[in-house]
Structure 1
Amino acid sequence: MSKIIHIAAALLLDAQGQTLLVRKRGTTAFMQPGGKIEAHEQPVEALARELFEELGLSIDTQQAEYLGQFSAPAANEPGFEVCCQLFRVHSVAAVQPAAEIEEARWVDIDQVEPLELAPLTRDLILPLQREFAQAQRSA
């Protein structure tokens, strides 16, 4: 049985519908911004703290839309699984990589092919965003 890392992450979208992916220092996989939930925190509070620490981004937790819980193998910790509380957050604010984040990149979800993606991002979150985008175009 794998060990579990509990995280809160953002499907962070800009005005053009692009999503922000980040890469931690010393790693190769891009993933959603966010991080570990501390024992005393609600998931949305952990997300707000992590986005501020890692990207200098302040969010209104009331505006973060809860999308559900998702699990996948951890990208950077072999033998671990991430259990993610995912929130959709819209932002037009500039982001600045900080803390352990080496690179932050706004991407069009249909043009992420050359990037190495974390399993959670590749297999669950981006397909979910594609569904949202498709539904929005159909509406």
Structure 2
Amino acid sequence: MTEPVIHVAAALTTDVDGRALMVRKHGTTVFMQPGGKIEPGESPLTCLRRELLEEVGIDLPAEAFTWVGTFEEDAANEPGHRVLAEVFSVTVDATAPVAAAEIAESIWVDPAEPGDIDLAPLSTRALLPLLAR
């Protein structure tokens, strides 16, 4: 049987020092890139801009984002599901993001050595390695 797929938009968000922004939702232990589920009729970039504003208070124009690609991996917080992520990169200034909505915590990590934190499969296997190169 095929695992259900959750279609999301995610931001590979870095600061000027190359650190990656990771977020953790309330009631979970896993850190991942900010983003969220794409609503019906919504473009991936529109979804991502909405989610960044809701989750971490980042409000940037569409032109600030660069398309990275589509990635599929095991879902971090929904066992038995896969996540299909439309990924964009964006660089932001060092202003601390403000965790809001369903986000409990946000941190900046070195993509090559994120430290001793629980990471989503998509982050570990696909996204952070892109930045660590």
Pairwise mapping of residues 113-128 of structure 1 onto structure 2 (< 5 A)? 113-128=115-130
State the TM-score, normalizing by the size of structure 1.
0.91
Deviations 1:68-118 (A, max 9, x none): 000100000011100000000011143100000000001111221301100
CA shift, 1:129, in A, is 1.1
CA shift, 1:62, in A, is 1.3
The one-letter code matched in structure 2 to 1:47 is L
RMSD of aligned alpha carbons: 0.9
Consecutive unaligned residues of structure 2, counting only runs of 5 or more, are none
**What does residue 42 of structure 2 align with?**
41
Aligned residues: 131
CA shift, 1:15, in A, is 1.0
**What does residue 77 of structure 2 align with?**
76
Distance 1:51 1:79 in 2: 26
Distance 1:110 1:119 in 2: 15
Consecutive unaligned residues of structure 1, counting only runs of 5 or more, are 132-139
Q: Does the CA-based 8 Å contact 2:109-2:115 persist in structure 1?
A: no
State the TM-score, normalizing by the size of structure 2.
0.95
Distance 1:15 1:43 in 2: 24
Which structure shows the higher helix fraction?
Answer: 1
Distance 1:47 1:106 in 2: 19
Query: Percent of aligned pairs with the same residue?
Result: 46
The one-letter code matched in structure 2 to 1:119 is P
The one-letter code matched in structure 2 to 1:6 is H
Deviation beyond 2 Å, 4+ runs, structure 1? none
Distance 2:46 2:24 in 1: 22
